[in-house]
Amino acid sequence: MHTRMAGLAGWLIPAALALAGPAVHAAAQNKSGKAGEYPLRPIRIVVAVAPGAGGDTIARLVGQMLTDRWGQNVVVDNRSGGGGVIATELVAKSPPDGYTLLSQGESVLLQGATKRVPFDVLKAFDPVVATSAQPYILLVGTALPVKSMKELVAYSLKKTVTYSGAAGVGSTIHLGMEWWAQLSGAKLLYIPYKGSAPAIVAAMGGEILMAGASAIAASGAMRSGKLRGLATLGLTRIPALPDLPTVAEQGYPGFKITNRYALLAPAGVPAAILAAINRVISDGMHTPQVTQRLVADGSQPAERMTPEELRASMAREYVQMEKQVKRLNIRIQ
């Protein structure tokens, strides 16, 4: 596991260095209305997962791209736990100056749909850029005698299956798997850990029976030989893992848990700053070197979107998420 994460770190730096060039300062309008240079000091990217998780890996790649383009340090601040709420609330309350950003998956929308934060997430943030799409993978210990989702259901009726993943109670993995339990009748028990990386370690050690993780984190665990993939939680198979079926293919049509990472800023950041960050990250994520490596690990760059297009996409997803939460009568305390 740790060897794999070190390997990932090894390709992040040279991939980002490919983007390096003369430092570029983006002109932006500050609160006084005067033009200023950005960035003039280090940028902080807050992530809602523990070090080693797929979201952490992407945040560090993004940070390296910004550093190499503009010559300013970027600090990745891991604030895991609480289903991502801790990180979300921290950034929402930060000054809208472009120096504090949130890197999070669609769980930020889920926090709003389940009323876990005391504000409207669509109004509290300015979307900056979509970074990557990382399908989730369901992992089980090699000692668990199940090789399909149907077998998992049968096993769970004899012994409740403990599982974890993502960033704690109310996370995308938690609510997604509770949805699947309703569909299948499986008996599951969620055990909170501060992210997918510690959940994977717990599954390796037999503390829990199953873990959900993004493709980047899961692929390393699978290569270790201590965990095996049971299913991918997206609607399509992962090109890098063509033999791993989807949950939908295994008898549960329509089931999916999506996982698109994005950078968000506190509402009110000048549009010029948002556009400048968007250009650097969009260009960087779509270089051949970065794209090829992401695909090899079961991920891929997110679709190119302007901040305005990303806002519209998030609004559509939020409506669908609210409907699903209401239909499933999900309540998170």
pLDDT tens for the chain, residues 1 to 333: 333 333 444 444 344 334 433 333 444 444 433 335 899 999 999 998 888 777 888 999 999 999 999 999 999 999 987 778 899 999 999 999 999 999 988 888 888 888 889 999 999 999 999 999 888 899 999 889 999 999 999 999 999 999 998 766 767 788 889 889 989 999 999 998 877 888 999 999 999 999 998 888 888 888 888 899 999 998 889 888 899 999 999 999 988 887 889 999 999 999 999 999 999 999 999 999 999 888 887 788 999 999 999 999 999 989 988 887 777 676 665
Decide: helix, strand or coil at residue 83.
helix
Dmax over CA atoms of the chain, in Å, equals 67
Do the domains 136-250 and 2-134+259-328 match in fold?
Answer: yes
Q: Can you name the residues that pair with 132 across neighbouring β-strands?
A: 261, 301
Q: How far apart are CA 135 and CA 232, in angstroms?
A: 7
- Three-state secondary-structure class, residue 250: helix
- Which CATH number describes the domain made up of 136-250? 3.40.190.10
Q: In a 10 Å sphere around its CB, with 0-12 CB exposed, 13-18 middle and 19+ buried, how is residue 25 labelled?
A: middle
Helix (DSSP H) and strand (DSSP E) numbers for the chain: 12, 13
Structural domain boundaries of the chain? 2-134+259-328, 136-250
Let me know: does 107 contact 83? Beta carbons within 8 Å: yes
* Cα 5 from Cα 274, distance rounded (Å): 30
Pairing between strand 161-165 and 100-104? unpaired
The 8 Å CB, 24+ separation contacts for 287-291 are 287/15, 287/18, 287/19, 289/14, 289/15, 289/18, 290/15, 290/16, 290/18, 290/61
Superfamily of chain region 2-134+259-328: Bordetella uptake gene, domain 1 (3.40.190.150)
Task: Give the CA count within 13 Å in the CB-facing half-sphere of 56.
Answer: 24
Q: What are phi and psi of 181, to 5 degrees?
A: -60, -40
**Judging by DSSP bridges, how do beta strands 161-165 and 210-214 pair with one another?**
parallel
pTM: 0.75
